Amino acid sequence: MTEEDFLFRNTHTDSLENGSISWQSPSNIALIKYWGKSEPQIPKNSSISFTLNNCYTTTTLEFSKKEVSSNDHNIIVIFENEVNVAFKPKILQFFERIDRYVPFIKNFDFVLKTRNSFPHSSGIASSASGLSALALCLMSLEKQLNPSITDGYFKQKASFLARLGSGSAARSVEGEIVVWGEHSEIIDSSDLYGIQFPYSIHSNFKNYNDTILLVDKGEKQVSSTIGHDLMHNHPFAKNRFAQANKNLGRMSKILQNGNLKAFVQLVESEALTLHAMMLTSNPYFILMKSNTLKIIENIWKYRDNTTSDICFTLDAGANVHILFPDREKEKVSAFILKKLVPFCQNNQYICDNLGKGAKKIY
């Protein structure tokens, strides 16, 4: 598929007056990280993620035909029941980026009502779930205007549009494991959209758990836009992109053969490498907090004293995602509660697990 394949074909768009569409779309956590991109939202390396189940955004898009046609995008954004002006520029920018592919959006006034299942300002990125939910709503609108599109095209274009809003959002349309970015060992992988991991996944990864420890719920210290930009003149960028692609090949094998010891090693190494890129960029950032390190030390101690396959990964922030197989749930949950939750801000954490992807509400 090329970008041209995602242009809107049907020209009879006058029939639809108004309506409302609602989607629920999950967050995801990358195992092999995307950090570094070029225009238009093309990743410098391929990435792979677990789709989450309990952390999601629910978005309702109300649309009504404009009374007077114009080229402007007219959107009112309502976040958690209140009109939100802070999100509006990002959404307007998103609409401008995608209107070539969904030109009919200029024919409507929109009210966008959105809320997250996870606490507001938890430090959990909502751009992946939020922008994928919105992209899916727009695809449902496209489907009403052009009912002949297939389910496969629907999902692919939803991911394609979501990517233009936020790279990681391309990985939030489907479950349970998604690859985004062209990779020689992953058939049908693309820089333009995410695809479901195309090989059979070992049973060790069934219902895999992700407990998210909220270490620091403050505003992000570095926005992802600035963070990705820092990779442009980064002295280690070239090696990092090559390493990430190599790691994705290794991860693909691990997911198929179920080697959890290798999984633990690779996932943690990826998380620390992401942070190493920020530690060594110009300007430099330390995004971990002292409690992040204490949690990591405790996980390593626990692993030394048991046969556990628990491990951690990190986003571009201080929160810690604890990954573990379902058969360890009881023991690891007790350990988390006793030893790790005390390091969380206000003892807050979220229990999540692998999810199946976005769901249409109506």
Is the CB of 41 or the CB of 291 nearer to ligand DP6?
41
Q: Tokens at residue 29, please?
A: 């956590």
Piece of 32-40, 106-114, 240-248, 338-346 that binds ligand DP6 (CB under 6 A): 32-40
Beta bridge partners of 110: 63, 75
Residue 176 makes contact with ligand DP6 by CB under 6 A? no
Piece of 111-119, 162-170, 283-291, 300-308 that binds ligand DP6 (CB under 6 A): 162-170
Residue 307 neighbours by CB distance under 10 Å? 7
Residue 316 makes contact with ligand DP6 by CB under 6 A? yes
Is the CB of 47 or the CB of 308 nearer to ligand DP6?
47
Residue 275 makes contact with ligand DP6 by CB under 6 A? no
Is the CB of 138 or the CB of 278 nearer to ligand DP6?
278
Q: Which secondary-structure segment (H or E) carries 262?
A: helix 260-279
Beta bridge partners of 58: 24, 115
DSSP 49-113: EEEEEEEEEEEEEEEEE-SS--SS-EEEEEETTEE-SSSHHHHHHHHHHHTTT-GGGGGEEEEEE
Pairing of strands 74-79, 108-116: parallel
Binding letters toward ligand DP6, positions 45-64, x by CB under 6 A: --x-----------------
Pairing of strands 74-79, 42-43: unpaired
Pairing of strands 18-32, 359-360: antiparallel
Going along 74-232, which residue ranges are E strands?
A: 74-79, 82-83, 108-116, 177-180, 194-196, 209-213
Piece of 213-221, 222-230, 284-292, 342-350 that binds ligand DP6 (CB under 6 A): 222-230
Cβ of residue 181: shortest distance to ligand DP6, in angstroms?
Answer: 10
Piece of 77-85, 105-113, 154-162, 221-229 that binds ligand DP6 (CB under 6 A): 221-229
Is the CB of 275 or the CB of 335 nearer to ligand DP6?
275
Piece of 163-171, 232-240, 320-328, 341-349 that binds ligand DP6 (CB under 6 A): 163-171
Applying CB under 6 A, the residues found at the interface with ligand DP6 are 30, 33-35, 41, 47, 125, 127, 166-168, 224-225, 228, 274, 315-316
